[in-house]
Structure 1
Amino acid sequence: MYQKTTLIKNAKIVNEGKIVNGDILIEGEYIAKIAESISPKSADVNVFDAEGQYVLPGAIDDQVHFREPGLTHKANIETESRAAIAGGITSFIEMPNTNPQTTTVEALNDKFDRASKTAWANYSFMFGGTNDNLDEILKIDKKDVAGLKLFLGSSTGNMLVDNPEVLEKIFKSTDLLISVHCEDEATIKANLEIYKERYGDDIPVHFHPIIRSEDACYISSSKAIELAKKTGARLHVFHLSTGKETQLFDNKTPLKDKKITAEVCIHHLWFSDKDYENKGTLIKWNPAVKTEKDRDQLLKALLDDKIDVIATDHAPHTFEEKSNVYTKAPSGGPLVQHALPALLEMYHDGDISIEKIVEKFCHNPAILFEIEKRGFIKEGYYADLVMVNLNNPWTVNKDNILYKCGWSPFEGTTFKSRITHTFVNGGLAYKNFKFYDTRYAKRLTFDRD
């Protein structure tokens, strides 16, 4: 049950480029009032004293893989959405490469049904495109889903869209926002053969960013952008991993008017190729973590607004799966619990401001996907709120990792900042590693004509 009224006192409220001291009154699911000082009008009000801690809008993660249905030995909607709210992520958009793949209306509706019963964070899904499902794509109402996901490289099953005629037809035919994974498959295959000839299956993992190279990324992303410009499609390029690709994007247009946008993921902002020596296949992602120079250029493009949003690409596998030799170890790793603490660590290091973190991880996903009444701390908006203590250190270890897979690439890392409270639609869902019995999650809705 929702508290009838909740009052957060003495908060540092981070919203729209400003930090203000004040109080937040929540009535039911919504933020009713924001003011310098609000007094409770009755004894029924549930009062939280933030004691000067920061309150942020709940983060919106526009790219996760929660593995349900079909791959639930790795993860499921319930376990990973719980980990998400512990990490300050109150809304997620999940990808279509499950089993069955989300490439039919029936499979999409099944996912919505599953999430309605088990999700701890607000949810929506991407619909998947293939070489042969245009008829299904055209059935989708753009108010029903977050968007369309196309794999232009590195996909499971038959989700690689590698027919140029089909690709152009999809771009021309849909009003859905098209999100793409861009790596050129021919380039990767040629590179892989060179190293397989030399090492067999046990390729040293530090060759991963050479196999899944800068060229592979740039060839694919530049082609996708060229096609979007030709057709007028609305394109969002997922998980940039190279500095070179950032040159393809514009920072002269307000986000709400952009037709071509970009995302960077936390692992490409945190790790570099120097970390393969210690982390091995645990940091094997597609696209690959690349050089320190790439990492620095990605951060610069994020701060310069060429890159519009931050996401996780949360993609868990079991530790046993990740422990295989290079060619057998799957790419991807779990991140939703630790992405915001990692970004706050970057704030402590002077790399990014808290206001910019909120812009890229909260505001901009809401603007980009036209999500209704979320991503901001505003009166009349849903009360998705995260309280953080910037000076309460904790170390990531097996006892506090919440992912079903039980491991994290951040294991052993000490973060200075801790998520202390997470409110989802006005309900307190999480407090200091404790979850409450009630789930408050709702299906995301979209303000689209």
Structure 2
Amino acid sequence: MDFVLENALVFIGSKLIPKSVLVKEGKIAALEQSVHAAKRIDCKGNILLPGLIDAHVHFRIPGGAQKEDWSTGSAAALAGGVTTVIDMPNNNPSCTTRKALADKEKVAKADSKCNFAFHFGASNDNMRELEQVDGIASFKVFLGASTGNLLITDPAILRKVFSIAKERNIAVVVHAEDEDIIKENTAMAKEKGWNHAKYHSKIRTCEAETKSIEKALALQDEIGNKLHILHISSAQGLELVKEAKQNREGITCEATPHHLFLTEESTENLGNFAKMNPSLKSREDVNALWKGLRQGAIDLIATDHAPHTIQEKEKPYWEAPSGVPGIETMLPLLLDAVNKEKIELKTIVEKCCIAPARVYGFESRGEIKVGKDADLTLIDLQKKKTIKNGQLQTKCNWSPFATWELQGSVERVFVRGRLD
């Protein structure tokens, strides 16, 4: 259906400009002061952004349907202004074969309300799959154990993964935490009787992150492949990435909303509901991440949306899984930060729209331009809403940000010209 969006402040380039947006056959067909179309949608003076791209989600299919699925996950995405997601491979079974990828794609095509792509898991024994798989966003590598069975600790295998990525011009995205340090700290924690999430950052430490980042950067320097550091959480880790980026190309990194808006002190009240990998860090680390965002050291923001049921999170610390939902709350949190003058709106668009499209090759998305996909998010920068457990689209139906009142809300979302 063709239509025109009128009476909107449209984010074009790096500015808000009053324009009418003509949508035809799922594409942006014109950006003018006034456009004629049979169907007209009044945006009521609100702001029209490119649809957000969340490059790091766990929609839990296959193997975790009690936590999330493509129907609920994509509904949560749209509620949060996200029109494209890239799903991670640590499912059950893991997405490490072309068959597993095809199976995931079939389900997503049937159930997803938003655009999607997939990261492909690198394991100890799937080099042939890495050489032959097509249509993926990246090779995902775990250097520290987390949900799933994709840990790689053998340097020879890691070198082979990076080399295949270089040959095929595919990015390697890395969960950077050092497994040896985590194991050593875990043994110490159990010996001391630590049994609360407030100790999580003393187990999965800044040192674990920085040592792992050093390893990944050293190998990337040798091989020359594209490398993306996922969910960076510490000032030290960010500094390593900044230094490497000054000396060579092909390196990017991301930060998550929970590492930007929560600290390790949040675990005192939230307990396991603030348990995730990497762990939350200190206020000083959080401040460094915000500075990195403003100065351009952090390339993109992605949620690491990793839902678990309330029942799973209520288990004792050592049994409770790591991960928190976030896709529904990312944009409201960031808009609230705009209202508090902590970040500029253009930075949100750069980190959540333009940069993810550039890093992962979505040439038709990420900007409001004639010829691009009509993936659009309409926001009200003034409206206030309170995040409430039990009133969310994500299947797990809770948030670590529950009770937060935020100024800035998602009003309408369009995916390839469809009003969702």
Corresponding residue number in structure 1 for 2:34: 38
**C-alpha deviation, 1:16, in angstroms:** 2.9
User: What SS does the aligned partner of 1:240 have?
Assistant: coil
In structure 2, distance between residues paired with 1:398 and 1:298: 27
**Identical-residue share of aligned pairs (%):** 38
Q: Verify the 8 A CA contact 2:53 2:356 in the aligned structure 1.
A: yes
In structure 1, distance between residues paired with 2:147 and 2:385: 36
**C-alpha deviation, 1:407, in angstroms:** 1.0
Relative to the length of structure 1, the TM-score reads 0.90
In structure 1, distance between residues paired with 2:409 and 2:377: 10
**C-alpha deviation, 1:365, in angstroms:** 0.1
Q: Deviations over 1:176-197 (max 9, x none)?
A: 1110100001101111111111
Q: Deviations over 1:338-393 (max 9, x none)?
A: 11001111111111001110000000000011112001101000000000011111
In structure 2, distance between residues paired with 1:396 and 1:304: 29
How many pairs does the alignment contain?
416
After TM superposition, what 4+ stretches of structure 1 lie above 6 angstroms from structure 2?
A: 251-254
Q: Verify the 8 A CA contact 1:16 1:359 in the aligned structure 2.
A: no
Q: Verify the 8 A CA contact 2:300 2:356 in the aligned structure 1.
A: yes
In structure 2, distance between residues paired with 1:198 and 1:409: 28
Corresponding residue number in structure 2 for 1:436: none
Corresponding residue number in structure 2 for 1:446: none
More helix by share: 2
Q: Verify the 8 A CA contact 1:15 1:358 in the aligned structure 2.
A: no
Q: Which amino acid aligns with 1:391?
A: Q
1:319 to 296, 304, 310: 310
**C-alpha deviation, 1:132, in angstroms:** 1.0
Corresponding residue number in structure 1 for 2:68: 75
Matches within 5 A, 1:209-224: 209-224=201-216
Corresponding residue number in structure 1 for 2:282: 291
Alignment partner of 1:233 is 2:225: yes
Corresponding residue number in structure 2 for 1:57: 50
Q: Verify the 8 A CA contact 1:242 1:290 in the aligned structure 2.
A: yes
1:365 to 356, 360, 379: 356
Q: Which amino acid aligns with 2:332?
A: P
Corresponding residue number in structure 2 for 1:10: 7
Corresponding residue number in structure 2 for 1:416: 407
Alignment partner of 1:151 is 2:142: yes
Corresponding residue number in structure 1 for 2:261: 270
Any stretches of 5+ residues in structure 1 without a counterpart?
430-449
User: What SS does the aligned partner of 1:406 have?
Assistant: coil
1:246 to 204, 227, 238: 238
**C-alpha deviation, 1:212, in angstroms:** 0.4
Q: Deviations over 1:86-110 (max 9, x none)?
A: 1000000000011111000000011
Matches within 5 A, 1:168-247: 168-174=159-165, 175=168, 176-199=170-193, 203-247=195-239
User: What SS does the aligned partner of 1:148 have?
Assistant: strand
Any stretches of 5+ residues in structure 2 without a counterpart?
none
**C-alpha deviation, 1:277, in angstroms:** 1.5
Q: Verify the 8 A CA contact 1:397 1:411 in the aligned structure 2.
A: yes
In structure 1, distance between residues paired with 2:69 and 2:52: 20
In structure 2, distance between residues paired with 1:166 and 1:326: 32
Say if 1:282 and 1:253 are closer, same or farther in 2 by CA, change over 3 A. closer
In structure 2, distance between residues paired with 1:235 and 1:161: 16
Alignment partner of 1:374 is 2:370: no
**C-alpha deviation, 1:157, in angstroms:** 4.1
Corresponding residue number in structure 2 for 1:443: none
Alignment partner of 1:425 is 2:416: yes
Q: Verify the 8 A CA contact 2:90 2:149 in the aligned structure 1.
A: no
User: What SS does the aligned partner of 1:378 have?
Assistant: coil
User: What SS does the aligned partner of 1:99 have?
Assistant: coil
Q: Verify the 8 A CA contact 2:376 2:415 in the aligned structure 1.
A: yes
